[in-house]
Amino acid sequence: MRNRAAAVVVGLGVLVAGCGGGSQASPAAGGSGGRGSGAAEARVVDVVAAQQASLERTIDVTGTLAAEDQVTVSFKVTGRLDSLAVDLGSSVERGDVIGRLTPTDFNLRVSQADAALQQARARLGLPAGGSDDRVVVEDTAVVRQAKAVLDQARLTRNRAESFLKDGIGSQASFDEADASWKVAEGRYQDAIEEVRNRQALLTQRRTELDLAKQALTDSTLTAPFAGRIRERHATPGQFLGTGAPVVTIVKVSPLRLRLSIPEREAASVRVGQPVRVTLEGDPTVHEGRVARISPAIEEASRTLSIEAEVANASGALRPGAFANAQVVTLAQEPAILLPDAAIVSFAGVDKVFVVEAGKARERRVTLGRRHAGQVEVLGGIKAGEMVVAAPGNLVEGQAVTVQGGAR
């Protein structure tokens, strides 16, 4: 019992001593901790001035590239495809040969029509190989011959009539001469009509020759405009009817970019405004311009349809591709700009921090467009005001120290 009581006394003494030591060290520790906490609250920050600058006003939209023109070409005549000079992806210029039909039949038709034309010219007394089809009717052989017979019959009739009046000729002789004269007059008129008929036949033969030559020309298929072959439909050796598709050609420069502009931005769009176009995965910027604007708003989507023309001489753009576009509605407009890093966004609220009396103060702002790492401030900050460049987790009222001055 005595040993147990002695142990309790010793333990109480140690406990009292420990508590006393702790109470002596506490003020020192507390003082040191207070000074360290105050130093941590004063955060060193950089500030930047809100800059007054000029900024483009643009409408960012997406659209689809389409070919300016697209056509499926075919032969106007029937025949067997002799050769095809293009294939999928081939580039063609206007007038380039795409394919040819076997020319044998067409050459024979040209020879036949030419022979018929020469025959028709010969019947009118014209040189076979000439190109002038003008004819003087009275100078043709058939009309001159009929005219001579008519003149002879007229003289014979006049003579018979004179003999009848003088009593030395009979009525029968006069009647015979008169009938011959009328027959000769009819043959003369018939000769004139025959020459006119031959003239019409000559014109017909000339037209038939032209048609045969045109068919020969049409047996060669050429490109109607510069472009590229999108699809091939025929193979050499295949018999093609009139209008059978051979290849499909698309015009790749310029291209049409079809865009849908929101109704709220529709009033600012004009023909001729610049358009910058980029493709997914390609940083290259292609220049274009607004070429056509729809006269009406689409009721279902509340958008305005426009078309931009985009130059594509290099062929880097392809019809049907999805594209991002910026329609520049105003080239230069005053704006207040801040770096993106100076903006703190949380729960739909945008704010910046300014330094007032060594403290960080929140300032709510209204933002506009973003461009090249900067953002437009529409309200809440004036030009020239200093804001914290990179606030990070800075909070309202926190003590700050500006280092390095304004940037």
CB-based contacts of 154: which residues, under 8 Å, 6+ apart? 181, 184
- Phi, psi for residue 391 in degrees, rounded to 5: -70, -30
Determine what percent of the chain is predicted with pLDDT higher than 90. 58
Q: Could you report the per-residue pLDDT of 316-344, keeping only the tens digit for each? A: 899 999 999 999 998 777 788 888 888 88
Band of residue 41 on the pLDDT scale cut at 50, 70, 90? low
Q: What's the whole-number average pLDDT of the chain? A: 86
Residue 17 pLDDT > 90: no
Residue 253 pLDDT > 70: yes
pTM of the model: 0.60
Q: What is the mean pLDDT of residues 153-169?
A: 91
Amino acid of residue 367: L
Q: Could you report the per-residue pLDDT of 92-116, keeping only the tens digit for each? A: 999 999 999 999 999 999 999 999 9
B/e letters for 271-296, b = 16+ CB within 10 Å, e = fewer, are eebbbbbebeeeeeebebbbbeeeee
Residue 156 pLDDT > 90: yes
Amino acid of residue 353: F
